[in-house]
Amino acid sequence: MDLNPSFLGIALRSLLAIDLWLSKKLGVCAGESSSWGSVRPLMKLLEISGHGIPWLLGTLYCLCRSDSWAGREVLMNLLFALLLDLLLVALIKGLVRRRRPAHNQMDMFVTLSVDKYSFPSGHATRAALMSRFILNHLVLAIPLRVLVVLWAFVLGLSRVMLGRHNVTDVAFGFFLGYMQYSIVDYCWLSPHNAPVLFLLRSQR
């Protein structure tokens, strides 16, 4: 019987301990009595900016109002990206079932059953996905491009500061969101490869 734990096991446990310790240290807005508790309302407002429901509703509204084929194509793919993000995040959360940090307050904006789990951060995946999408499909001046990247970074950081997630939840969320855009770009929907979707939209 081997009583010596493997090097890999020790490394993983050490990384997990560091992750939990660092996440708790950075959770400075986790409650009103926290060291940065006064900033909590601002962080919760930022939280809404990365929530899936406003993005979905905004995309559907713009899709209904769009009167150009190019605009519809971009918005159709944005909707596809958002739905893919929700599906993959829910699937991984259901499989991993990592609980949220103990210092988190469950006062989040519109939660679903899988939202009791922490890994990965859906806000972080959405931030990375949307920032790549926007930077690749909107012509923006350099200051606005910097603001988009800054929004994504600060949103991810705020998840740890609010105590919603551990650092690794956010880090993996950024990675997953980055890769999701690559999937959307590879499977890009257009009138040529998905004519039914655009035909239905044009008949409305």
Which is the catalytic residue, given 51, 137, 165, 192? 165
Task: Place 191 in a pLDDT band, splitting at 50, 70 and 90.
Answer: confident
Whole-prediction pTM value? 0.87
Per the annotation, the verdict on 137 as an active-site residue is no
Name the maximum alpha-carbon separation found in the chain: 70
What percent of the residues of the chain are helix, what percent strand, and what percent coil, each to the nearest 5?
70, 0, 30
Mean pLDDT of 5-24: 85
* 168 within 8 A of 19, measured Cβ to Cβ: yes
Which is the catalytic residue, given 51, 103, 123, 192? 123
CATH number belonging to the domain at 7-202, selected among 3.40.390, 1.10.10, 3.30.70, 1.20.144: 1.20.144
pLDDT tens-digit readout, 132-156: 999 999 888 999 999 999 999 999 9
pLDDT > 90 in the chain, percent: 56
pLDDT > 70 in the chain, percent: 94
Per the annotation, the verdict on 192 as an active-site residue is no
What is the three-state SS of 156-187? HHHHHHCCCCCHHHHHHHHHHHHHHHHHHHHC
Token pair of 203, please? 């008949």
Amino acid 38: pLDDT: 87
Residue 46 CB partners (closer than 8 Å, separation 6+): 154, 155, 158
Is 70 exceeded by the pLDDT of residue 199?
A: no
